[in-house]
Amino acid sequence: MRLSLGEMRGILKQKLLWVAAFGYFVDLYDLVLYGAVRVSSLKSLGYQGSDVFNVGTTLLNIQMAGMLAGGFFFGVYGDRRGRKEALFGSILLYSLATFLNAYVHDFTTYAIIRFIAGFGLAGELGAAITLTSEVLPKESRGLGSVFIAAVGFLGAVASSFISQQMEWENAYRLGGLLGLVLLITRMSVYESRLFLESRRSTADHTWGSLSLLFGSRLRLKRLCLALLVGVPIWYVAGILSYFAPEFAKEFKIEGEVTAGNTIMMGYLGAILGDIACGLLSQRLQSRKKAILVFLGFGASFALFHPLFSEETSSKSFYAIRMLIGFGNGYSALLVAWVAEMFGTNLRTTVASAVANLMRASVIPISMAFQALSPSIGLIRSSALLGMLCFGLAILAIFPLPETFARPLGFLEESPRQGA
């Protein structure tokens, strides 16, 4: 089931694919920007020393809480009103919030705006992946998700780079403006035909209902297992990358190590990993096998590196972070896989929920990291948490169903509909 070069070109000519990819670019630009400007923005607000770490972790958790709430809201909205409308609302909200971040002067305002930005960001990836999965041919929809992620990860790289070239306030302003430009391009995007036809022909079915999701043990089990598979992505992004300056001090690295550069190198690796993971999935005709390979690769570097590292230079530190990022390059394929597991009337709800539950998993991870670090140190506490995250992810992947090239024209039945 290999695609020809002509078929690949046909996929890339899809305007929807480019608009969705640019949306994820802006999404990750904002999401990563906070990590890149955490130190400079908090210092400008008067925080110093350990307060930069503690307050920064609190703000990160508040942002992720917003994403958790927004993930469910926009997921349900996308299944009830349409994928396109969910994308519009999401981009408008996080564009305005990102722009307003440039004008914060105290913790409370910063926290409120980061929550709103997180809430808006939550609707982007799940709706975009769902929309493209329903529009593209079933044999190539995995590659569509790969393309979206590859372009999106460039947003993270751009954010990391730009944050070091201008004041943190201007970096936030630029992100807000990019979002508003995206909103204009979205006006020409069309709704999924599969969604529209299914919606018209099955008016008696439940659409975008959390009770439909949580009322079934099988659906809930799949949701939880898929979430566990994605947790290592945000263990790496939320702990190893965001707090790279603190790790560099523990490693006694020679030369300056910044969160911005670390995030940039991690996402450069993720771009390559995302492409490789998608092509491997296509080659193996399997979502499960490809993601399992990348989980193993990422675990080997993320876990053994902090325990046995004897690095002395910032260059080697960044190189290892790039390899860890390569192993993290399965995120888009995972969201596409989740979208393929569930029916059209619940697809956006679950895709958005999983994407943002993965991100919100950094809340308990960072809280555990804060609690463990004073007693056993940053390196050992991060390694312990990494073992738990990667171990559970590898175990969770096996019970999940394979969905490569699975037709998506099916619905989830509720008990009253005869399930």
Residue 244 lies in a domain: yes
Give backbone dihedrals phi and psi of 46, rounded to 5 degrees, phi first: 105, 5
Give the residue carrying structure tokens 């073992």.
Answer: 387
The pLDDT value recorded for residue 10 is: 54
- Read off the amino acid at residue 378: L
Q: Please give the mean pLDDT across all residues of the chain.
A: 85
Residue 196 lies in a domain: no
Q: Give the C-alpha distances (Å, rounded to integers) separating 214 from 70, 185, 211, 238, 337.
A: 18, 35, 5, 28, 19
The pLDDT value recorded for residue 4 is: 47
The pLDDT value recorded for residue 419 is: 39
**d(C-alpha 238, C-alpha 75), whole Å:** 23
User: Residue 309 sits in which domain range?
Assistant: 15-190+213-401+411-415
Low-confidence ranges of the chain (pLDDT < 70): 1-14, 186-188, 202-204, 305-312, 414-419
Task: Give the helix ranges, DSSP H, for 202-258.
Answer: 210-214, 217-235, 244-251
Q: What is the pTM of this model?
A: 0.80
Residue 223 lies in a domain: yes
Q: Bridge partners of 313?
A: 254
Residue 205 lies in a domain: no
Query: 104-116 burial by CB neighbour count: b if 16+ within 10 A, else e?
Result: beebeebbebbbb
Look at the alpha carbons of 310, 316, 317, 323 in this order and tell me if their dihedral is positive or negative: negative
Residue 3 lies in a domain: no
Give the residue carrying structure tokens 């790039």.
Answer: 322
Residue 4 lies in a domain: no
Are 296 and 193 in contact, with CB atoms under 8 Å apart? no
Domain count, the chain: 1
The pLDDT value recorded for residue 401 is: 95
Q: How far is CA 124 from the centre of its chain?
A: 10
Where in 152-298 does DSSP place strands (E)?
Answer: none
- Read off the amino acid at residue 14: Q
Residue 344 lies in a domain: yes
CATH number at residue 131: 1.20.1250.20
Residue 6 lies in a domain: no
